[in-house]
Structure 1
Amino acid sequence: MLRVGLTGGLGSGKSTVASIFRECGVHVIEADAVGRELMQPGQSVYREILEHFGHDVLSTDGTIDRRALAKAAFGEARLDELNRIVHPAVIAEQERRMRIIASREPEAIVMIESALIFEAERMGTVPEWRRRFDRIILVTAPDEVKVARYLARVLPADASIEQRAETERDAQARLAAQIADSEKISHCDYVIENSGSPEHLRAQVGKILPQLQAVSKAASAPDGLQAARRI
């Protein structure tokens, strides 16, 4: 099994890249989706969030209101507190799912899509990220493009000027909490620049995928680790 980390800041388009890899047969595990599952009522993460942040972060149906939780985390400078609750549980579940895939498909490429691969180590919630992955891919775009994408994704068509301004501040706060792409690049094996056309994006994925497949195949051979390192 080849373990690949796919990361990128807010609005970088890493989910789009992940979808392209998935179409090509790569197993993709989305950190956000895992986190949402673990935040459901009855889960330990759900209980811990309520203990730390109170019932103000709940929706009327008893589920966690992610916008209210984000407002508490970013607006009240409690992001580190939230991450220490969520990150370890999400990582443990990712590892469990990877082991299941590896047992069924030894040559599989398993990709973890997460915005916070590097940040988790800096925060101290998930140390030594490099041991978790054999390859790292960074999806990048100019910050102004990232913010514009975020606004287009979350704002309703009839959003007021005030709503737009508040959402843009939220986007800037989220970006500020993430490590700059320029700092991440030197730690990555591949960089996908995502400010062009969909065709250009697919072409970049098309160049990377055969290399990942070659490494995965080599890693599953009898001298797998040594062979993979030579590629």
Structure 2
Amino acid sequence: MLRVGLTGGLGSGKSTAARLFAGLGAHVLQSDAIGRELMEPRQAVYAKIAAHFGPDVVLADGRLDRGALARIAFTDGRVEELNAIVHPAVIAREAELSEEIRARDSRAVVIVESALIFETKYSETKYSETKYGETKYGGLHGASGAGWQDRFDRIILVTAPEEVKIARFVARSAAGDALSNERRAGLEAEARRRIAQQIPDEQKSALCDYVLTNGGALTELEWQVDQLWPLLQDAAR
């Protein structure tokens, strides 16, 4: 089995790349989807979030208010508090699912789609409170012995120009609705805040095995995925 990390900043198109790999036969695990599942009522992660952030992040029906939680995390600068609860559980679940796939298919290519492979402090078994580094982006935590090196055999980075990333975030957030100038400006500012909290692509690319560029037409990304897929299959054998 080959364990592949697929990463990229907000709006890079890593989810699109993941869908393309899935169409070729890869087993794709989406960190965001796993996180959402673990944040449902009656899950341990849900209980920890509700206890830590208080009743303001819980809706009347008992579900988490994801909008309020995002505002607290990103706008109020408490994202690392949320990560400390969610990341270890998500990574542990990914490891469990990967082992289940391995048991069924020893030659499987398992791709974990995650925006924060390098940013997170946490590994599947234990984590450290050591700070990432001294740069304003946090550096690359434990670059010589980080948890991501134990989790993955290969890393793929999906990149796109920053303005393209921002435009994609705005379009996704609008969901087809017309935006006022004020609303558009707010979404653009939110995108920039989130991008600023992620390690720049230039730093990540040095640690990745493959880089896919996704600033143009979908066919360009499709071609790159098609070229890479046989290499991943060979490595899985």
Q: After TM superposition, list the pairs within 5 Å mapping 1:8-47 onto structure 2.
A: 8-47=8-47
Amino acid at match of 2:166: V
Alignment partner of 2:119: what SS? helix
Match of 2:114 in 1: 114
How far does the alpha carbon of each residue in 1:179-226 deviate from its partner, in whole angstroms, 9 at most, with x for none? Answer: 000000010000000011111111000111000001101xxxxxxxxx
Displacement, 1:40?
0.2
Give the TM-score normalised by structure 1. Answer: 0.90
Q: Distance in 1 between matches of 2:196 and 2:222?
A: 29
| Gaps in structure 1 of 5+ consecutive residues | 218-231
Match of 1:225 in 2: none
Aligned residues with identical type, % of pairs: 53
Displacement, 1:61?
2.2
How many residues matched? 217
Displacement, 1:60?
3.1
Match of 1:201 in 2: 221
Match of 1:190 in 2: 210
The reply to whether residue 177 of structure 1 matches residue 197 of structure 2 is yes
Give the TM-score normalised by structure 2. Answer: 0.88
Q: Distance in 2 between matches of 1:168 and 1:107?
A: 42
Displacement, 1:159?
2.4
Match of 1:131 in 2: 150
Runs of 4+ in 1 over 6 A off after TM superposition: none
Q: Distance in 2 between matches of 1:169 and 1:193?
A: 24
How far does the alpha carbon of each residue in 1:149-200 deviate from its partner, in whole angstroms, 9 at most, with x for none? Answer: 0000012522222222221111111101100000000100000000111111
The reply to whether residue 167 of structure 1 matches residue 187 of structure 2 is yes
Match of 1:226 in 2: none
Amino acid at match of 1:67: G
Alignment partner of 1:110: what SS? strand
| Gaps in structure 2 of 5+ consecutive residues | 122-131, 133-137
Root-mean-square deviation over aligned CA pairs: 1.6
Q: After TM superposition, list the pairs within 5 Å mapping 1:190-229 onto structure 2.
A: 190-217=210-237
Q: Distance in 1 between matches of 2:59 and 2:161?
A: 34
Q: Distance in 2 between matches of 1:72 and 1:18?
A: 29
